[in-house]
Structure 1
């Protein structure tokens, strides 16, 4: 008796080919969508950059204000490279454009990733994404308005007698951007705590019992990141400790215990 048509090797080969073609088409469509999302993000950065370029020198003057206001009389910033007066403000304009466009960039990333997430994952990811952006901005503002003035006041005060403090504009930009990035990341403590609890690495009880270790870790990180003065270290360590407590509260509100999740 002849074998049914759907059991023949040729039919099985056709099904395999169709499956491979479907996978290739799905991958190709995802790559096209990813390219489209990346292009939209790049366009947003470029548009903001073009709008900021005429104000690049003014932006740098605002960025340098915390140091310039505390320099001794007669001291000023200098440019040690020929192209620095032109290139450095443009670098700052690019960083600012990236900073302003970050919500658009993250939205494009979210629009690409969200279709593959479950409903409960979307419920947790949305507030985490918004909180991460806001906390990063708050960390940068905290560094600019509070930490940098205190650090520059200390550095100017400890400058040896006979040494004239004249900072290169490129080195100053690199230093401030590093401080912004470091403080922005340190202010992400609540988001990191919620993510660790959501994936089951730590529980709410472990977070409560680990407060003393979190405090010690905050001061160690602050001592490593901030300029070498006790004021800057305390100004970073204390907010990190408070943000840790905010993260513990957020875990209690947003993250369901794993046993409840599995039972439901």
Structure 2
């Protein structure tokens, strides 16, 4: 979710959703908008915005069918109008360009970002392309301008128990990366940041085995900051789209199970120095 105030009215809501999440199709956008809206009304709103030059319609061939996706226009004229709709300064707008092969990944990220916002209302969920505009997130990730290490989604909130700022990095992976790249990213999260936990969303077990293997072999027992709860620092789920409740089932690199709600509760109620594997195991 961006730092801009939540707008009222369907047109501003659509603009803000596309700004927060990136390219979306009509179905996903309809599911995200609140209060509920019929898909036909979402479609009408999008086409009005296309005609105004504020939204771009693009299509991608998927299973031999062309599917329409919509994203904000990044032209100077469009940015002026979009900044008025979002009630923000034009210089604060960050509208990145997306390539066709990014769209499916963007939609998965949108589902999960929206999921965290709905089921954990005090949490803020921010996409990678907005991280650099949030100084507090940047400080906790200790990223500087290391764009390649930005998580797909960063979930953050202030703990009411410890008064600490909790940060969770979420990665959505559909295609394998090199072991070297995986190591560098996990090493960054575990030893050179203040990230409290990491969730990898992978659709198949081969990817989970790859990431989990790198973590078990090279990170879990050597990263001093998270060693006491290293079994549960990195968690996996194989659902590309989340369930409708807060009890997403997750598992560690060695198959230890815990649901998302309990995992977050432990991170929230215990300072990182006091977290232990046993605390998480009791909530399985």
Q: Highest Rg: 1 or 2?
A: 1
Question: TM-score range, shorter-chain basis?
Answer: under 0.3
TM-score by length of 1: 0.24
For CA contacts below 8 A with separation 6 or more, give which structure has more relative contact order.
Answer: 1
Task: From the two aligned structures, give the one with the greater strand fraction.
Answer: 2
TM-score by length of 2: 0.23
